[in-house]
Amino acid sequence: MTQETHVTHGFRLAYGTNGLTDLRLDDALALLADLGYRGVALTLDHMHLDPLAPDLARRTAAVAARLDQLGLAVAVETGARYVLDPRRKHGPSLLDPDPDARARRIGMLTDAVTVAADLGATALHCFSGHRPEGTPDETAWSRLADSFTPLVNAATAAGVPLAVEPEPGHLLADLAGFHRLRRLLGSPDALRLTLDIGHCRCLEPDPVPDCVTAAGPWLAHVQIEDMRRGVHEHLPFGAGEIDFPPVLAALAATGYTGLLSVELPRHSHAGPQLAAESHAFLTAALADARASRPSEVPR
């Protein structure tokens, strides 16, 4: 049993495969298990469980068997930059003016719901996309709600939490935007939240621990990295401005039991090293959190 197992209890440390794109998926999973991680955030992309390649169900079953063999929980992420369009980052989006283009994104995300269900995933992550130039605010939000409706229905039927991520620069950029979408959709149980700890530091008005506390009731997936105020750049731990022990204590206090996944998507060139360093950093930060606020960080 690893040290990390003793200090987290509720949530499980994980690492995102979007930070390990230089590794084959099987090698990445084996690495994370060897380092002591208990989960993986699997980004569906051309190099890791391509959602558009043939035999998706068969390939998904093979990944599920490997995850079970390694003892890794999984969340499915859908933030691959060019999986649908090799020329447009994250295009087409759920906000594309062209309904056929929107349907391509909806179709991929619907397939991802099936993948998540077949993997026994803790959550399926997604995001809104940028508001197209010239699109009025109300039109964009209405379009987003329309696009999310079939996804919520699919997630509800599959029993998979659909965890939307507030993303800086996107239409749904912050916690207020998450609640706006929930209201537009009638607050469905399947619609949950992906909280990125770095994004809280980047743009939320409240201190990061307060953001975590406020988000607690809706959490289905949590990403973590360092970041600076006003700069959307995912940084290794210690390179930004976040004081992590209070953040981890706040997360533990919410009762969250999903994955806490390191997200360093621009650092694949040093992925294995950073995965090791990140695990050591978070294990130490959790120990510090427990020492300073023992009632909030269970053993």
Give CA–CA dist 2/41, Å, rounded. 20
Taking only the tens place, the pLDDT of each residue in 227-271 is: 999 999 999 999 999 999 999 999 999 999 999 999 999 999 999
pLDDT value at residue 292: 77
Residue 137, domain member (yes or no): yes
Q: Residues 147, 94: contact at Cβ < 8 Å?
A: yes
Number of domains in the chain: 1
pLDDT value at residue 139: 98
The answer, as to whether pTM is greater than 0.85, is: yes
Give CA–CA dist 163/154, Å, rounded. 13
List Cα–Cα distances, 39 to 24, 75, 230, 262, in angstroms: 17, 8, 30, 10
Parent domain of 96: 12-290
Residue 6, domain member (yes or no): no
Residue 250, domain member (yes or no): yes
> 3-state DSSP call for residue 198?
helix
Which stretches of the chain drop beneath a pLDDT of 50? 1-8
Nearest to 161 by CA among 239, 55, 257: 257
CATH code for position 116? 3.20.20.150
Nearest to 224 by CA among 201, 193, 257, 203: 201
pLDDT value at residue 296: 62
Residue 3, domain member (yes or no): no
Residue 187, domain member (yes or no): yes
DSSP state of 273: H
pLDDT value at residue 293: 67
Residue 42, domain member (yes or no): yes
Residue 299, domain member (yes or no): no
287, HSE (Cβ side, Cα atoms, 13 Å):
10
Residue 295, domain member (yes or no): no
